[in-house]
Amino acid sequence: MEAKTKTSIYPLAMTAVMAAVIAVVAPFSIPAWGEVSFTLCTFVLYLSPYILGWKRASIATLVYILLGMVGMPVFSNFKAGLGVLAGPTGGYILGYIPMVIISGLIIKVFPKNRAIHLGGMILATAVLYAFGTALFCAQTGSTLEHALMVCVIPFIPFDLGKMVIATGLGPVLRDRLAKANISPEG
């Protein structure tokens, strides 16, 4: 009975810990242009499927978003509330969920191929950018060209760097967890 309790509590605890890590990292940011800032949030999100698997990583991401939605200052620049999600950058925050699902599924399907992991993260981030940019344009009335110049292009090198580091570190973390008999998928 004790082993069953350990295996059923661990996934829940690790999901909560990952949500907390996201919530701690995300508010610290370097201001860029207007509403958009550089953060390490996506780096943690790129790592989370390696540690938790795509389903639990998605749940941790959703918990992070819900924490911010109900008023905890966990969004960039210590912002919080439903107004942030309904505002110009809300689409990028909401886009974290499909980003984690896409990158996590690719990591699951191709567990040993880091090049494909990187490609999956690029695809997932493109979906994040598309979702966030569409809502940014709708909220601000900006042209697509302006939105791309403010919300996407400056972030591409930084995000690529985070992806490269995550594809190097993520498999190592996953392998160490496996050696400790801890599986990301449960």
3-state secondary structure 76-132: HHHECCHHHHHCCCHHHHHCHHHHHHHHHHHHHHCCCCHHHHHHHHHHHHHHHHHHH
- Residue 183 counted as domain residue: no
Strands 37-39 and 29-31, how do they pair? antiparallel
Q: What is the CATH number of the domain that holds 135?
A: 1.10.1760.20
So what's the pLDDT on residue 171? 96
Number of domains in the chain: 1
pLDDT in tens, 140-172: 999 999 999 999 999 999 999 999 999 999 999
Contact 114, 63 (CB under 8 A): no
Distances (CA, A) of 117 to 72, 113, 122, 163, 169: 32, 6, 9, 9, 12
pLDDT in tens, 1-14: 455 555 578 889 99
Domain residues for 73?
2-177
- Residue 89 counted as domain residue: yes
- Residue 119 counted as domain residue: yes
So what's the pLDDT on residue 72? 97
- 82 Cβ contact partners less than 8 Å away, ≥ 6 residues apart: 69
Q: What is the mean pLDDT of residues 70-96?
A: 95
Q: CA-CA distance, 42 to 26, in Å (whole number)?
A: 8
- Residue 185 counted as domain residue: no
- 13 Cβ contact partners less than 8 Å away, ≥ 6 residues apart: none
- Residue 105 counted as domain residue: yes
Q: CA-CA distance, 104 to 106, in Å (whole number)?
A: 5
